A and B are shown apart, each in its own frame.
Chain A
Amino acid sequence: MDNKLIKDQFFQMLRIRKVELKISELYPEEEMRCPVHLSVGQEAVAVGVCSALQKKDIALSAHRSHAHYLAKGGDLKSMLAELYGKKTGCAEGKGGSMHLIDLEAGLIAAVPIVGSTIPIAVGSAWGNMMQDKSVTTAVFFGEGATETGVFHESLGFASLHNMPMIFVCENNLYSVYSSLEVRQSNKRNNIKIAEGHGIVSLKGEGNDVSSVYGVIKESISIIKKQKGPVYVEFDTYRWLEHCGPNDDDHLGYRKDKEVKKWKINCPIEKTKDYLLNNKLADEKEIQTVSLELDDEIEEAFEFAKTSPFLDKKHLYTSIYSD
Chain B
Amino acid sequence: MRNLKFFEAIREATAISLRDDPSVYLVGLGVPDPKGIFGTTEGLQSEYGADRVFDMPISENAMTGVAIGSALVGMRPILTHQRVEFALLSMEQIVNQAAKWFHMTAGKKNIPLVIRMIIGRGWGQGAQHSQSLESWFAHIPGLKVVMPATPYDAKGLLISAVEDNNPVIFMEHRWLHNTFGEVPKRKYKVPLGKANIIKSGKDLTIVSHSYMSIEALKAAMIMKEHGIDSEVIDLRSLRPLDTKTIIKSVKKTKRLLVVDNGWTRFGVSAEIISSVTEKIFDELKCSPSRIGIEDVPLPSTRALAVHAYPTPSKIVKAAAKLLGLQIKLSKEQKKSDPLDQPDQNFTGPF
A residues less than 8 Å from B61 (CB atoms): 149
> What per-residue 1/0 map shows which CB atoms of B146-157 lie under 8 Å from chain A?
000000000000
The 8 closest A-B pairs by CB, nearest first: A34-B124, A96-B300, A93-B301, A85-B301, A309-B303, A147-B57, A177-B33, A182-B55
Residues of B within 8 A of A (CB): 29-30, 32-35, 54-59, 61-62, 85-86, 89, 123-129, 294, 296-297, 299-304, 307-308, 340, 348-350
Q: Which of B34, B58, B85 has the largest count of A CB atoms less than 10 A from its CB?
A: B58
Q: Known A-B contacts: A94-B299, A96-B124. Give 14 more (CB < 8 A).
A: A34-B124, A35-B350, A85-B124, A95-B126, A96-B125, A96-B301, A97-B124, A145-B58, A176-B33, A178-B29, A178-B55, A182-B54, A182-B56, A183-B58
Q: Across the two chains, which residue of chain A brings its CB closest to B85?
A: A113
Contact of A40 with B by CB under 8 A: no
Question: What distance in Å separates the Cβ of B92 from its nearest Cβ neighbour in chain A?
Answer: 10
Give the tally of cross-chain contacts (CB within 8 A).
Answer: 125
The segment from A49-57, A158-166, A262-270, A314-322 found at the interface with B is A314-322
Contact A314 B29 (CB under 8 A): no
Interface residue total, chain A, C-beta cutoff 8 A: 44
Known: A176-B30, A177-B35, A312-B304. A93 touches B299 (CB 8 A): yes
Contact (Cβ within 8 A) B29 A319: no
B304: nearest chain-A partner, CB-CB = A315
**A315-B126 in contact (CB<8A):** no
Q: How far is the CB of A234 from chain B (nearest CB, A)?
A: 19
For the complex, what is the distance from the CA of A96 to the CA of B301, rounded to whole Å?
A: 7
Contact of B129 among A112, A177, A312, A314 (CB under 8 A): A112
Q: Is A103 an interface residue (CB 8 A)?
A: no
- Known A94-B300, A96-B125, A175-B29; judge A244-B35 contact (CB<8 A): no
Chain A residues 82-96 with CB under 8 Å of chain B are: 85-86, 89, 91-96
A99 near B300: Cβ-Cβ < 8 Å: yes
Taking a contact as CB atoms closer than 8 A, the residue among B57, B85, B126 that contacts A96 in the complex is: B126
On A, residues with C-beta under 8 Å from B are 33-35, 85-86, 89, 91-99, 111-115, 144-145, 147-149, 175-178, 182-184, 243-244, 251-253, 309-310, 312, 314-316, 319
In angstroms, Cα B348 to Cα A112, docked, is 18
**16 contacts across the A-B interface (CB closer than 8 A):** A85-B302, A89-B301, A93-B303, A98-B128, A98-B300, A99-B126, A99-B300, A112-B128, A115-B58, A144-B57, A148-B89, A176-B33, A177-B30, A251-B35, A316-B296, A319-B296
